[in-house]
Amino acid sequence: MALKTAEQYEESLRKMKFKVYLMGELVKNPVDNPIIRPSMNSVKMTYALAHNPEYEDLMTARSHLTGKKINRFCNLHQSTDDLVKKVKMQRLLGQKTASCFQRCVGMDAINAVDSVTFEMDQKLGTKYHERFLKFLNMIQEQDLTVDGAMTDPKGDRSLPPGKQADPDLYTHVVKKRKDGIVVRGAKAHQTGAINSHWILVMPTVAMTKDDADYALSFVAPADAEGISYIYGRQSCDTRKLEGGEIDVGNRQFGGHEALMVFDNLFVPWENVFMCGEYEFSGLLVERFAGYHRQSYGGCKVGVGDVLIGAAALAADYNGASKASHVKDKLIEMMHLNETLYSCGIACSAQGHKTASGTYLIDLLLANVCKQNVTRLPYEIARLAEDIAGGLMVTMASEKDLRHPEIGKIVEKYFKGIESVPTENRCRVLRLVENITLGTAAVGYRTESMHGAGSPQAQRIMIGRQGNLDHKKKLAKEIAGIKD
C-alpha cells in the first residue's frame, strides 16, 4: 500500500492508543472528539487529494528508493522541481482546508535528517543513514503521517541545556543500554502530533560538547508507552462543542498543537539517528528550519487565498464592493499574498543537491520567505477585518439567529444587501473571524509569527547567509577602492 485513502488513514488512527489530556480530562477517543476532529479532517485531505487525478502531479511523487508512486509528504526532494511542487501542493491544501494540514513538519524533518545523517556517517563512520532509510522506506510503503518534533520548552533562555535547573526542559538521554536509549523531556507546540503515526525528534539548538546528551534525533510510534500529550487551547475552541456550524466559522477543518511529554521513553538503537554527535546538531536545526520556512510560502498563501475571498464576499454582502478604497485593499491583500508565494517559489527554484542526493532549498531566500511571513499575514488579516466591518466581532450567536422569537430580529437587523440572506452574511463574517482571531488563527495569524522559529531566528540566518563581505567587495570595485 503506497497510497492510503482518507478513510484508511482515519481507521489507522482509531487503532492507536494515544494518551491525550484535553481541558484536564483524559480523551478516550481523539478521532471523534469534537474539538480535535476538525484537525484530523485537515490531514485526511492530504490523503484524499492524492487519489484525485486532477491533483496527482502535485500530491504524489515517485520514491527514489522503490520507484513506486507515493504521497509527496513522504518524499525526499530529488530536484528543484520537487521543491517547487511542494510549495504548490501546500498552497492547494491551504485553499482546500483554510487551516493547518499538519504533515509539512514531518516532510521537512525527513528531508533534513536524510542529508545530515548521510554527512554524519561520511565523517564519523556511523550507521545512522542506513537506519534512517529503513524508516523512510516503511513510511513510504505505508503512507504514514510523521510529526517532526524540534522545539523544546527551553526553560531559562539565558542558560544552555546542560545548565538548566531542571534537565528535562530540553529532551535528553538519561540512560544508554545495549538495546537502546531511555529519553526524558518534552517537545512543545507540536503541530498535528495526535494525528500522526510516528514522531521524528530532532535537537532544538546547536549543541556543544557539554550538551552532548541533548544532541539527539530518533523516531518513535506516536502512541508509544512513555509518550503523553497535553492538548493546546485555541481561541473560540469550545464553540465546536455547541453543536452549531455558523459560529465556528470553519466547521470542517482546523489544526492543533500539543505539548509532547517523554517520561522515560525507551527507543531501540535502530530508531536512533543522532546520539551525542553535537557537532552536527546545528546543521540539522539549520536545514530543518530552512525547509520549514520554505513551507510557509505555500501553506499560509493558500489560507490567505481563502481569507481574501471571504473579505471580498463580505464587501459584496455589505454593499461596499464598488468603493474604491475597498477595491484597493483587496488588491493590496493579493499583492502581499503573492509576495509570500514568490518567496516560497524562489527559494525552491534556487535549491541545490546535497551529498545524499536530496535537494536543499536556498537557505537565505527561505529565511527571507519566513521573515515576510512574520509580517505580511498580519497586514492581510488587518485589511480583511477592516473590510468585514465591526459586525464580525459583535454579531449575535447562531442560536439567536435560529431562535423562534428573536431570530426574526437578528435576521432583519443583521442583513446587508437585500439579495443575500442574512445567514450567508453571518457565515462569511464568522469565517473571517475564524481565520484572523479564532481556531484557524493558530494556523495563520499567530503561527505566521512563531512557527518555524521566531522573527529573530530568521534575521540571524539572513545575517549569516547574506554574504555582507561580498557586497562590500562589490561596492569597492565600483567605487575604485583598493585595499
**Is 292 a known active-site residue?**
yes
Phi, psi at 460, each rounded to 5°: -65, -45
**Is 439 a known active-site residue?**
no
What are the cell numbers at 175? 540512560
Among the listed residues 129, 189, 256, 292, the single catalytic one is 292
Measured in residues, the chain has a length of 483
Among the listed residues 10, 257, 277, 398, the single catalytic one is 257
Among the listed residues 170, 291, 296, 444, the single catalytic one is 296
DSSP designation for 77: P
Among the listed residues 74, 100, 275, 343, the single catalytic one is 100
What are the cell numbers at 261? 511529554
What are the cell numbers at 242? 455547541
Among the listed residues 74, 299, 347, 369, the single catalytic one is 299
Residue 425: C-alpha distances to residues 206, 304, 324, 359 (Å)? 50, 20, 21, 46
Among the listed residues 74, 104, 343, 369, the single catalytic one is 104
**Is 104 a known active-site residue?**
yes
**Is 236 a known active-site residue?**
no
Q: Sort residue 125 into left (φ over 0), alpha (ψ -120 to 50) or beta.
A: left
Strands (E) located in 188-247:
198-201, 216-221, 227-231
**Is 347 a known active-site residue?**
no
What are the cell numbers at 398? 447562531
Among the listed residues 171, 191, 354, 439, the single catalytic one is 191
Residue 148: C-alpha distances to residues 102, 110, 163, 367 (Å)? 10, 8, 26, 19
What are the cell numbers at 346? 524562489
Task: For 267-281, give the DSSP string.
Answer: EEGGGEEEES-GGGH
What are the cell numbers at 347? 527559494
Q: Which residues does the annotation mark as catalytic?
A: 100, 104, 191, 257, 292, 296, 299, 447
